[in-house]
Amino acid sequence: MNNRKKVPMRKCVATQEMKPKKELVRIVRSKEGEVSIDLTGKKSGRGAYLSKDKDAILLAKKKNTLANHLGAQVSDEIYEQLLELVEKEKQAN
């Protein structure tokens, strides 16, 4: 019997790399069109995954990748929050 659990994989919208879901952060657009960071991974709405990597976040901002995937404007505040999140995780490790 195979007792190993299957690791859920997701694709980063900026780098197009497949990574384990835990290595990515989910950004979600609600039905009302509000964009937010989904740390639980369970919020309802259209989601897009980004690597927890400064370069990936900056690339997504430069190419407007998140806005294209979510079909909504993504404010600079969201990108700033993502960068802060990455810095905090880097310091914790």
Q: Calculate mean pLDDT across residues 15-24.
A: 95
**Dihedral of the CA atoms 37, 43, 46, 51 (nearest 10)?**
40
pLDDT value, residue 2: 64
pLDDT value, residue 89: 86
pLDDT digits (tens, 9 = 90+) for 33-81: 999 999 998 999 999 999 999 999 999 999 999 999 999 999 999 999 9
Domain membership of residue 76 (yes or no) is yes
**CATH code, 26:** 3.30.1230.10
Number of domains in the chain: 1
- Cβ-proximal residues to 48 (8 Å cutoff; 6+ apart), any chain: 13, 26, 27, 28, 65, 66, 69, 70
Domain membership of residue 2 (yes or no) is no
pTM here is 0.89
Q: What count of other Cβ atoms lies within 10 Å of the Cβ of residue 23?
A: 15
Q: CA-based diameter of the chain, in Å?
A: 49
Domain membership of residue 72 (yes or no) is yes
